[in-house]
Structure 1
């Protein structure tokens, strides 16, 4: 990101230059040299570049060298949250204060003990492999599949709890395609050279995992071929990922009482019983796929199923086993599929495992330690004020139709604010772990987590669960439940610095809340109405008005040069929706601040805009900037900071900007959405 710096010469160097000039030239020559010297660039001000004006010290202290990726304010927040979790787990490991901490401490300790993990080898998965070795007849296959799903290893297909598309208040069990080791069914049929290369690398990976899982050398080639063959058969009747993006493409209610009759070899009725699911209905949207799977269970030899299931046990558990497993898994999934250069550190790997399998347990302890009542109360107050600002903005909107305005008003009135953590409805009872086997502990925890997920199915409890963990920084609008979700981890600097100027809280946390709440009634929120029914409640006139306003934003952002790149500008069309939400966030937060503090002094007004600009500070290496310029849905930090406020008259008034200043956008060119 190019930043204009005025470098001061070191005093010693400056003195030596002066001395040399004095010995070689007269005063007139010195005067001519001074007259010919180029002028220094004008100082950066809030009115010329708010982003650089506010963040200069941070930008200078965080210069990147090639290949360092990105540094940002939100990256620092993420690092803080991770360190807080490390510290919490270390304390639980050393001196647990309750049963939950004892479980977490044992889980953490077992993962950090690399020597014990190496000594454990493949022993954690030995009981699962023995279960597979016990398959003798085709009718043994379905119970083995159900048993692996119970421990959190989904094979052959996926089954999980998701919100019911036609009743957003409840969770439904969804049967969906899965069971493949490559990320898209298309990999198994495409003939281009790159795909064929990946398939060959995957085949070698299958062979490596089977070797580590104990397949005899004499059977390796045959069993590897059997695994690939079975996955090709599954892929042949699976849909490309692109066809699954619409949630309704995976939604079709069926009666659970009929599943055992329709899919007798898969034994889906017994499968649901094994998962503890007693709901009368589930979703199964691709019956042709499951009919084919039902036939495969009956037609393929048990030896092929045993090879397939052994591989998928090893593949799923590889990150939590000894180094040979981890290296094999990373070389394929990490380097080849994800393009990563280095494995996670031991702490990163273990923390990720705990959050995946026992995240709600860690959440309870994290919230208790890192979310003071005063911080939660402050967040609730500001979020409520921003919601009220959105209600006022909808009421005075000049671009919304009367019908859309009425629906938006009702939707904002019903909009819920959930701060810190979800309401708990989880059973935290888990078998004791001990510190001897990290892989064994992972299976204990993932079995518990799977059971908790299954408890959702058929229950009207969708409003009691989040899709994010409180210990992960997150602030998001959930359209299915018409609610704002604010995690405990996000309620700290730079988003909410309770030690800072109270007005800055609106420029940081308040503006992010406004960004997300605007989603309830904008082009993204128009598909779910105030009664949480899935339908489009905007009129064609609303769509046209939205495009008219945001087309002007597209033009504004198209003119912004992309920081760190030459001859590349921001893609205003691709970033349209995020830019509109950023503008909405600033508009709504400013309205909320002035309603709360109508006599706010100049210092407080400046603090609002400084807070907003500080959140978007970032340094991005050129390779990362190139990727972001081509794919990112958001503008880069400099323009997330500067773009919205240049459309706000209050900004130029606060900093006394004048015509000709870069940040002083003429009134006729300013875009307004909610002011």
Structure 2
């Protein structure tokens, strides 16, 4: 239901659910003593689980397998998952913790109507009541299908594109509200292209056998869904949908193109939208969205909008109605009867991602609550699972990393003083948000009636849309978060220049309160550095200290930065995921810069924390060794082959194996810690090692 604009809002550490729009608040205080992380007792644990290692692998050949190979060999992927690992272990723990909170509320009797507790209980119970959902069948969506049937013309079509989005469904022209990248003092409306049922535009055109088969399977899936929903001519409907989506896919930008912040910024007067296409009734569309009083709008992919207008004009209403029916049936399938939900899983879960069985229903229910009423749960989650001591220690770590980043900027030989000065200004302006908000989301307008799951979800999405519209013409909500505290992730948001670390990621192996500094700097320190690094990656570096898309580089420094970035592209292009598939260095460039920067700066901060003293040897490991092992173990994980292929095609993050060895291979200090020499598999000649920040 929740639509995610990939790459449009923020850069996250891991693409789990993306950085979705929410309205919350942040703790931004960083006035904490910096001495806490600098004095330790050797009694602290190493934080390294040596049972996970594979000592048959030389660290000089593959450090990732050396640190994680034992775990990889002994942990099969369960049937209800497509991926397991460090992130996913914590995600499971978070789900379990949230489940306890939800079930306590769901078991409560006589909850007062309209309270947060009643809304959580009734939404969760309405999802868990399979008998009622099966009894209702497709009745919950019949009023929407009837409304589609009654559409008469292309003006009606434009209005319904907006209506469907407000209900939480997809739309080929997708509207969202975010900070104006060239005027960060205001919010603006934006348009993004969407409307595809397959994961990416390339799935519609690649001629390898698996893509040809997937297209055939998709048509069969759509036909089956139409049949289960009681629609006429299911095969004909599926074929027309595939044909229409293929036309739209030809106009979609590639994932690499959509990363380009400057190319995406196309500010248009709303009165000028007809110059792109007059086949869309822009006035009616904007009015239905509630954005008709806006003087301008940012079009991310203008050539898509122009081409889409031609598709609107050339496509008859019967075909559009069939397409809209598919958006409704497919969009709500997971919340309808078992037959539709299972068929939806068979294609998207099993066929595309290789997941053999659905997650237990309670886990899906937890995801539903987190996505719609998440911060009600957050209040209790934080009280139970995140201590003030953890926040204090994390705050100190962030400031130590900021200090180290500044030192690194000052030491760069390839950057001029003018650019260094501007970079320092941006670094000083970073706003850290740690753990949880201090102002919580208001869910009072959402009507959860305990009767129909679909109507409950529509209410939540309509309120969410209305809140987004309220931002227009209002002040910047610099207290707002885009992830709940129970989310295992972190992110950087360039237009407000903030780095955000939810409570749930601040646990081992990322952050271990019982462990020595080395593993924490290698784990959460590298995560902090990674998010700071996004402010200086190939796209984040285009934004100034105030969050404006504005160049602050000298021409020569920018050229040198691009040369070094291209070296990193070439390095990652060479990593082979499967015999027929390599990492896409251009797609993953921003995240790879974040990883390399994060590791480099975290190491500097760790060495600073020792105050010139030698680190203790713990479990036979030096401080440097524990630091690098702490880094490698946070990327521990494995995926089904199908899920990995889908990730490489669509995700701007490299697979974990290469996130580990790619950055390490560029660090001279890693070579010294493990005696890496020419001829070792991880060796890169000194002149070819990439140093950016």
Shorter chain as denominator, the TM-score bin is 0.7 to 0.9
Please say if 1:513 is aligned against 2:528: yes
Secondary structure of the residue aligned to 2:297 is strand
The question of whether the paired residues in 2 share the 8 Å contact of 1:613 and 1:641 is answered with no
Please say if 1:274 is aligned against 2:288: yes
Secondary structure of the residue aligned to 1:602 is coil
Partner of 1:75: 88
- Counterparts of 1:239-638 in structure 2 under 5 Å? 244-256=258-270, 266-277=280-291, 278-284=293-299, 285-286=302-303, 288-289=306-307, 291-292=309-310, 295=313, 300-301=316-317, 303-421=318-436, 424=439, 426-461=441-476, 463-501=478-516, 504-521=519-536, 523=538, 525-539=540-554, 541-542=556-557, 581-582=594-595, 584-593=597-606, 595-596=608-609, 598=611, 602-603=615-616, 606=622, 609-610=625-626, 612-617=628-633, 618=636, 620=638, 632=654, 635-636=657-658
The question of whether the paired residues in 2 share the 8 Å contact of 1:472 and 1:490 is answered with yes
Please say if 1:84 is aligned against 2:134: no
Please say if 1:647 is aligned against 2:663: no
| Bigger mean CA offset, 176-185 vs 165-174 | 176-185
The question of whether the paired residues in 2 share the 8 Å contact of 1:255 and 1:282 is answered with yes
1:184-216 C-alpha deviation (Å, 9 max, x unpaired): 56777888977665444433333333333333x
Partner of 1:12: none
Q: 1:3 aligns with which of 54, 76, 80?
A: 54
Please say if 1:210 is aligned against 2:223: no
Structure 1: gaps (5+ residues): 6-40
The question of whether the paired residues in 2 share the 8 Å contact of 1:107 and 1:433 is answered with yes
Q: CA deviation at 1:508?
A: 2.6
Partner of 1:14: none
Structure 2: gaps (5+ residues): 1-51
Shift in CA distance, 176/386, structure 1 to aligned 2, threshold 3 Å: closer
Alpha-carbon distance between aligned partners in 2 of 1:535 and 1:670, rounded to the nearest angstrom: 31
Alpha-carbon distance between aligned partners in 2 of 1:228 and 1:107, rounded to the nearest angstrom: 34
Alpha-carbon distance between aligned partners in 2 of 1:153 and 1:420, rounded to the nearest angstrom: 31
Cα RMSD of the aligned pairs, angstroms, is: 5.0
Q: CA deviation at 1:573?
A: 11
Alpha-carbon distance between aligned partners in 1 of 2:201 and 2:687, rounded to the nearest angstrom: 49
Q: CA deviation at 1:418?
A: 1.6
Q: CA deviation at 1:111?
A: 1.6
Shift in CA distance, 53/223, structure 1 to aligned 2, threshold 3 Å: closer
**TM-score, normalisation: structure 2:** 0.73
Shift in CA distance, 412/604, structure 1 to aligned 2, threshold 3 Å: farther
Alpha-carbon distance between aligned partners in 2 of 1:481 and 1:463, rounded to the nearest angstrom: 7
The question of whether the paired residues in 2 share the 8 Å contact of 1:557 and 1:570 is answered with yes
Shift in CA distance, 70/642, structure 1 to aligned 2, threshold 3 Å: farther
Partner of 1:9: none
Q: CA deviation at 1:73?
A: 2.8
**TM-score, normalisation: structure 1:** 0.75
Shift in CA distance, 126/616, structure 1 to aligned 2, threshold 3 Å: same
1:77-114 C-alpha deviation (Å, 9 max, x unpaired): 22222222222222222249992233122222222232
Query: Of the two, which has the highest radius of gyration?
Result: 1
Q: Which has the higher contact order (CA 8 A, sep 6+)?
A: 2
Alpha-carbon distance between aligned partners in 1 of 2:251 and 2:379, rounded to the nearest angstrom: 42
1:373-424 C-alpha deviation (Å, 9 max, x unpaired): 2222221121012102211222233332222212112111212212124575
Secondary structure of the residue aligned to 2:433 is strand
| Bigger mean CA offset, 253-262 vs 149-158 | 253-262
The question of whether the paired residues in 2 share the 8 Å contact of 1:419 and 1:485 is answered with yes
Q: CA deviation at 1:535?
A: 4.1
